[in-house]
Amino acid sequence: MDVRDLVTALLRGETLTARQWVQDSVREGFKWGEVSAPTGLSDREMVVAAALTDLFADRANVSRPGWTFNIGAAEGPIWLVRNDLPRFADRVKGEVPEALRSKRVFAPANFLLFA
């Protein structure tokens, strides 16, 4: 599995593809704490890759990979969900997980979380 595929799907608004990618990663026992830094991504894509890797490492209760600490926050906010409804956007800003917020990436607290 390649984190670049997840990043690409989310930035294209392909949330069903992203959900399936995450479900497959759970089924395959993907090790978020061992994710290598992806190559060939733009700065914006790297921020999203680092934010997502940190988010899923936190959820798995494993240490974040070292490379993610070297990736700074995005210059402007990056929304992984639609933010055209002001009340929804405000709610998301208030609940966004720290792993995403620290990189200026925004999604609800339960984003890509499965029971």
In terms of pTM, does the model score above 0.75? yes
Q: Find the helix or strand (DSSP H, E) in which 75 lies.
A: none
Write phi, then psi, for 49 (nearest 5 degrees). -60, -45
Place of tokens 């921020």: 47
Q: What is the pLDDT of residues 2-15, one digit of tens each?
A: 999 999 999 999 98
The Cα–Cα gap between 8 and 43 comes to 13
Q: What's the pLDDT tens digit per position in 50-100?
A: 999 999 999 999 999 999 999 999 999 999 887 777 787 788 788 899 999
Whole-angstrom Cα distance, residue 74 to residue 22? 23
Asked whether the beta carbons of 38 and 46 are under 8 A apart, the reply is yes
Helix 15-27 vs helix 3-11: crossing angle, to nearest 10: 160
pLDDT at residue 114 tops 80: no
